[in-house]
């Protein structure tokens, strides 16, 4: 139920944007930036080091709830644990119009201390602590020095509430404006998220439950516009502070129209996140960082507001807060 926001260019100073929440599919979400110098290399025939073209990221995030970037509150009790594993395979890097091409496979999971029903309705038995597993396959293209295009396929393989697997394609265009400012950047982006098969929200659930308004909405899409203002302190241990803000603009079928006509704005969220490198970790064990923050989400669309009746809140829900922290290691 979440989208991973990727922004990685192995082979130089690499900025890794973790998922929203996060999360996202984090979430972008998640998510979001820690800078790791890439030092892994092997000796070339002439003795010069050759940077590795393959890297990996492992991220463990903990939160007070699991809420997707699309506003579905899946778990609001206990502790949510969301491990993320990503690989980065550099296919090309140069100084032409296209700067880099990187292949990014991975997998994301959500587990929690508060178990969720395997079958509908919510709070029925049996239950499971494992909510879902999401395979990821993406490609990232850096071009014109400051632009990045990410195209990412994801599938949400749900383990709860008899929810079927849905598949999606996420296309995100980002602009890195940090070179125009001293230690600061707005990092604007535009994202298009398409459901390929199935629904990533509970939009069809009221149609199936009450059966009085015909079939539910089919696969749909949304746009997202956002900023990730970021400042890195040269002191304070290299602390990076982010204050992301984004607005989700859904199509009329994304949240359905069971309760009301669709709104132009589905939701907006704002947050604050700090990331610090864990420089005390021994060399040779990867580049470690710790992050923590919070996110506030406000649900504008009345259909989204009512859909959380079928999720963890069990009632119409207009907004939510998420507090999260995590540890990441980049190899």
Mean pLDDT of 139-149: 97
The per-residue pLDDT of the chain, averaged, comes to: 87
Close Cβ partners of 146 (under 8 Å, ≥ 6 residues apart)? 175, 176, 177, 179
pLDDT confidence of residue 15 = 41
Percent over 70 (pLDDT), the chain: 86
- Domain presence at residue 117: yes
Domain count, the chain: 1
Q: Which residue has the higher pLDDT, 327 or 215?
A: 327
Q: What is the pLDDT of residues 150-195, one digit of tens each?
A: 999 999 999 999 999 999 999 999 999 999 988 899 999 999 999 9
Q: What is the pLDDT of residues 112-129, one digit of tens each?
A: 999 999 998 888 899 999
Q: What is the pLDDT of residues 127-140, one digit of tens each?
A: 999 999 999 999 99
- Is residue 214 within 8 Å of 84, Cβ to Cβ? no
Q: What confidence tier does 16 reach under pLDDT thresholds 50, 70, 90?
A: very low
Mean pLDDT of 256-264: 95
- Domain presence at residue 206: yes
Q: How far apart are CA 232 and CA 175, in angstroms?
A: 18
pLDDT confidence of residue 182 = 82
- What is the number of helices (H) and of strands (E) in the chain? 2, 21
Could you tell me the residue range of the domain that residue 290 belongs to? 14-330
pLDDT value at 289 more than 70: yes
Q: What is the pLDDT of residues 84-98, one digit of tens each?
A: 999 999 999 999 999
Cis peptide, bond prior to residue 30, ω within 30 of zero: no
Q: What confidence tier does 47 reach under pLDDT thresholds 50, 70, 90?
A: low
pLDDT confidence of residue 234 = 87
pLDDT confidence of residue 5 = 40
Burial (CB < 10 A; 0-12, 13-18, 19+), residue 225, is: middle
Q: How far apart are CA 315 and CA 310, in angstroms?
A: 7
Q: What confidence tier does 44 reach under pLDDT thresholds 50, 70, 90?
A: low
pLDDT confidence of residue 17 = 38
Q: How far apart are CA 176 and CA 193, in angstroms?
A: 21
pLDDT confidence of residue 8 = 39
- Domain presence at residue 296: yes
- Is residue 137 within 8 Å of 161, Cβ to Cβ? no
Q: 261 to each of 195, 209, 247, how far by Cα in Å?
A: 20, 19, 19
Sign of CA dihedral 161, 165, 166, 169: positive
- Domain presence at residue 6: no
- Domain presence at residue 7: no
- Domain presence at residue 142: yes
DSSP per position, 140-201: EEEETTTEEEEEEEEEEEE-STTPPPEEEEEEEEEE--GGGSSSEE---EEEEEEEEES-SS
Q: What is the pLDDT of residues 198-225, one digit of tens each?
A: 999 999 999 999 988 888 899 999 999 9
pLDDT confidence of residue 149 = 98
- Domain presence at residue 173: yes
pLDDT value at 56 more than 70: yes
pLDDT confidence of residue 120 = 86
Phi-psi region of 265 (alpha: psi -120 to 50; beta: other; left: phi over 0): beta
CATH number at residue 72: 2.40.160.40
pLDDT confidence of residue 212 = 83
CA 225 to chain centre: 14
- Is residue 141 within 8 Å of 173, Cβ to Cβ? no
pLDDT confidence of residue 6 = 41
- Domain presence at residue 209: yes
């Amino acid at each position: 139920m979440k989208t991973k926001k990727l922004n990685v260019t192995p082979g130089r100073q690499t900025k890794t944007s973790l998922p929203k929440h996060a999360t996202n599919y984090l979430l972008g979400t998640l998510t979001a930036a820690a800078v790791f110098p890439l030092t892994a290399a092997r000796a070339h025939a002439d003795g010069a080091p050759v940077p590795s073209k393959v890297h990996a990221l492992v991220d463990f995030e903990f939160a007070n709830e699991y809420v997707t970037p699309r506003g579905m509150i899946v778990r609001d009790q206990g502790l949510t644990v969301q491990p993320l594993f990503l690989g980065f395979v550099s296919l090309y890097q140069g100084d032409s119009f296209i700067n880099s091409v990187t292949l990014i496979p991975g997998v994301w999971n959500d587990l929690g201390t508060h178990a969720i029903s395997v079958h509908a309705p919510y709070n029925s038995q049996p239950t499971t602590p494992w909510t879902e597993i999401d395979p990821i396959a993406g490609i990232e293209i850096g071009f014109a020095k400051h632009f990045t295009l990410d195209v990412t396929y994801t599938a949400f393989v749900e383990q709860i509430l008899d929810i079927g697997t849905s598949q999606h394609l996420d296309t995100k265009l980002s602009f890195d404006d940090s070179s125009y400012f001293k230690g600061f950047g707005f990092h604007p982006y535009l994202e298009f998220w398409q459901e390929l098969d199935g629904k990533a929200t509970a939009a069809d659930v009221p149609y199936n439950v009450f059966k009085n308004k015909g079939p539910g909405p089919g696969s749909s899409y949304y746009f997202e516009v956002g900023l990730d203002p970021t400042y890195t302190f040269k002191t304070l241990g290299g602390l990076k502070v982010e204050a992301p803000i984004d607005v989700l603009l859904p199509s009329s079928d994304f949240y359905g129209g069971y309760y009301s006509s669709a709104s132009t704005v589905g939701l907006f969220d704002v947050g604050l996140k700090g990331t610090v490198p864990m420089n005390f970790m021994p060399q040779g064990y990867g580049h470690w960082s710790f992050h923590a923050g919070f996110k506030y989400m406000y649900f504008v669309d009345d259909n989204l507001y009512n859909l959380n009746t079928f999720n963890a809140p069990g009632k119409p829900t207009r907004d939510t807060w998420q507090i999260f922290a995590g540890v990441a290691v980049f190899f």
